[in-house]
Structure 1
Amino acid sequence: MAQENQNGASKAAAAVTFTAVKPQLFVEAPKATDAVQFYKAAFGAEEVNRTMHPKRKADQELPLILSAEVKIGSYSLLVSDLADDSDALPIFHILSLGLAKPFGAYSANTRAKTVGTGCTICLETDEVEAAVVKAVAAGATNECATADGESACCGGRVAKLKDPYGFVWLICSPAKKPVDVVA
């Protein structure tokens, strides 16, 4: 028997299970290939899939990446080229503008401001200092000295890096488990 809402007399929504969350990082075209190489060198990423922009492949223009999926540890993220004539626009920017214009109406200048902003990615490792050295050697900028964190996401050692594409990465050791956690 279907469950019904008390106020609206409509059927309750079916349960939904998500199997993955894959953040998508937009970089200024044509730098997605370089970004993937950087993530491989800095964070040991493994590229598992790449989809090229079909229009540019057909027109034999500079091939752009529609999305490249890379795995860091057991998690995936997508890296994409964002070109001046691209219809792709980061969702946080679309929402902030209230969908006032169709995608193609945004200027290249507007798009460039969205690249490398609005996202911090936290990578967890027991080897924070070694991870920082590796990322800096690959081209990241160390934004602050490694310190002991106190927040829920970074309860151990934490370092802040910025990659060559403007994204901020926190390199954290696992948070210490609190003794008095009440569910």
Structure 2
Amino acid sequence: MASDGVDYQNGNGADIGAPKAVSFSSLRPKLVVQAPRAADAVAFYKAAFGAEEVLRSNHPKRKADQDLPLILYSHLRLGAVELLVSDETDDSEAGVKSTEALGGTPLLLCLETDDVEAAVAKAVQAGAVAEEGAGDGTCCGGCWTKVKDPFGFVWAIGSSSKAIPIEADEA
């Protein structure tokens, strides 16, 4: 593209042979946990967040000494939210590692609820650890509290608030 002298980055040249706009119907984060802990993670998300397991696919290669087969993915639904949970394997998608392999998590998962205190208490009762302090407006737009689950993922549990419309620059 660069050889034709047109800068296509940031929308420049967008009307010159531009492909049709693409739309997406959902975003499902895939949480990869250290094997063989995906089954434990699924049980935790059910207990902590009321997740419903929609579908599970086990890894076809099973070592004889494993009590449980590794999970390729478990499709979970938390209300209107969907996510996938899987065991980390040697043949996992390139670059996809567990929080243990990374030494932390590179993302913050935000959940909105009308009862932040009850949701945090339920997550802690299921095994999460409440993080220090609470916030206001930074993540979910309202009040929120962070918890770290037993698998290293950090969740901001917050109350929904009215969206603030984006205004045009007044410069």
Q: TM-score range by the shorter chain?
A: 0.7 to 0.9
What amino acid does structure 1 have at the position aligned with 2:33? V
Distance 1:126 1:70, change over 3 A: same
Aligned residues: 156
Distance 1:123 1:75, change over 3 A: same
Distance 1:172 1:111, change over 3 A: closer
Q: What's the counterpart of residue 41 of structure 1?
A: 47
Is 1:125 aligned with 2:113?
yes
Q: Could you tell me which of 154, 157, 169 is aligned with 1:171?
A: 157
Q: Provide the rounded CA distance (Å) in 2 between the counterparts of 1:115 and 1:89.
A: 18
Q: Provide the rounded CA distance (Å) in 2 between the counterparts of 1:90 and 1:111.
A: 15
Shift in Å, 1:41: 0.3
Q: Secondary structure at the match of 1:37?
A: helix
Q: Provide the rounded CA distance (Å) in 2 between the counterparts of 1:165 and 1:60.
A: 25
Q: What's the counterpart of residue 96 of structure 1?
A: none
Q: Provide the rounded CA distance (Å) in 2 between the counterparts of 1:38 and 1:115.
A: 21
Q: Provide the rounded CA distance (Å) in 2 between the counterparts of 1:82 and 1:182.
A: 43
Unmatched 5+ stretches in structure 1:
1-5, 94-109
Q: Give the 5 Å matches for 1:65-144.
A: 65-83=71-89, 86-89=90-93, 91=95, 112-114=100-102, 117-144=105-132
Q: Secondary structure at the match of 2:121?
A: helix
Q: Secondary structure at the match of 2:61?
A: helix
Shift in Å, 1:11: 2.7
Q: Secondary structure at the match of 2:120?
A: helix
Distance 1:159 1:111, change over 3 A: closer
Which runs of structure 1 show a deviation greater than 6 angstroms over 4 or more consecutive aligned residues?
none
Unmatched 5+ stretches in structure 2:
7-12
Please say if residues 50 and 78 of structure 2, whose CA atoms lie closer than 8 Å, have aligned partners that are also in contact: yes
What amino acid does structure 2 have at the position aligned with 1:175? S
TM-score by length of 2: 0.79
Please say if residues 33 and 65 of structure 1, whose CA atoms lie closer than 8 Å, have aligned partners that are also in contact: yes
Shift in Å, 1:20: 1.1
Q: Provide the rounded CA distance (Å) in 2 between the counterparts of 1:181 and 1:112.
A: 38
Q: Provide the rounded CA distance (Å) in 2 between the counterparts of 1:39 and 1:12.
A: 42
Distance 1:111 1:143, change over 3 A: closer
Shift in Å, 1:115: 7.0
CA RMSD of aligned residues (A): 2.8
What amino acid does structure 2 have at the position aligned with 1:55? K
Is 1:52 aligned with 2:52?
no
Distance 1:111 1:133, change over 3 A: closer
Q: Provide the rounded CA distance (Å) in 2 between the counterparts of 1:170 and 1:92.
A: 22
Percent of aligned pairs sharing the same letter = 50
